[in-house]
Amino acid sequence: MIASLGMYDRAETAGANDRFWALIAEALRARGLTAPAHLTRGDGAYWPAWQDPALILSQTCGFPYRAKLRDHVTLIATPDYGLPDCPPGYYASVFVARADDARSLPEFRTARFAYNEGLSQSGWAAAQNHAASMGFHFAPSLETGGHRLSAEAVAAGRADLAALDALTWRMIQRWDPVAAQLREVARTAPTPGLPYIAAKGADAKATYHALIEATHALSAADRDTLCLRGIVRIDPAAYLAVPIPPAPDQIARLS
């Protein structure tokens, strides 16, 4: 068995995630389902977990779900983080630049663009789809491996612009000094947020209700730490309707 909650797991949220998982696992077992005692962390919390036939629960990104995982996992539900100007369960990407860089978003069309990875909805797809609506693409200048690393790359001058998951940006503003060196340039349109998934054939109804029960049982302090407002169900079609932009290497060839 394997479970992971790695998408927003950092030193400041790890304890809350552990307590949230303990409540989820208890609620799953009360419904006759099995659950591991502990969360998997590190590299194994992502693609290895998402593709494991013994996956009990994890959180993935909308882009991997629609591009590679949808036929191999069970979509369970989506957390609602109460993000501004977003329907429940939705999120957006925040474009950030250095605080002393006053350019508007269209003026960044030829700037050095940092992104976490090419299969990220918030770091890559949302940014490129937003740029496409204005008639251009951002050239992939620097792949960083993570949103916080993208923010640090912009602050350090190794890139000029990055697109960050709105919840990650909220956490950076709360806990990371680098936020003081950055400013918000613009936001993309909302898209369905990062969904909870389980292995193909999992009991989606029971797992959904276990998530609801665990969220209600979680302390107010832990809900605040995780920015967790509730659990919602979003139709899979809403995830699949989000456009898939050209991959970084395709855009690089066109640039």
Residue 253 has what pLDDT?
A: 67
**Domain range list for the chain:** 2-82+192-240, 93-189
2-82+192-240 folds as D-Maltodextrin-Binding Protein; domain 2 (3.40.190)
Same fold, 2-82+192-240 and 93-189: yes
DSSP symbols for the chain = -EE---TT--TTTHHHHHHHHHHHHHHHHHTT----SS---GGGGSHHHHT-TTEEEEE--HHHIIIIITTTEEEEEEEE---TT--TTEE-EEEEEETT----GGGGTTS-EEES-TT-IIIIIHHHHHHHHTT----EEEE-SSHHHHHHHHHTTS-SEEEEEHHHHHHHHHH-GGGGGEEEEEEPPPEE---EEEETT--HHHHHHHHHHHHHHS-HHHHHHHT--EEE---HHHHHTS--PPPHHHHHHH-
Please tell us whether the domain made up of 93-189 is placed in CATH 3.40.190.10: yes
Q: What is the pLDDT along the chain (255 residues), one digit of tens a residue?
A: 999 999 999 999 999 999 999 999 999 999 999 999 999 999 999 999 999 999 999 999 999 999 999 999 999 999 999 999 999 999 999 999 999 999 999 999 999 999 999 999 999 999 999 999 999 999 999 999 999 999 999 999 999 999 999 999 999 999 999 999 999 999 999 999 999 999 999 999 999 999 999 999 999 999 999 999 999 999 999 999 999 999 999 887 665
Give residue 255's pLDDT: 57
pLDDT at residue number 251: 84
Model pLDDT, residue 225: 98
pLDDT at 228: 98
**pTM, 2 dp:** 0.95
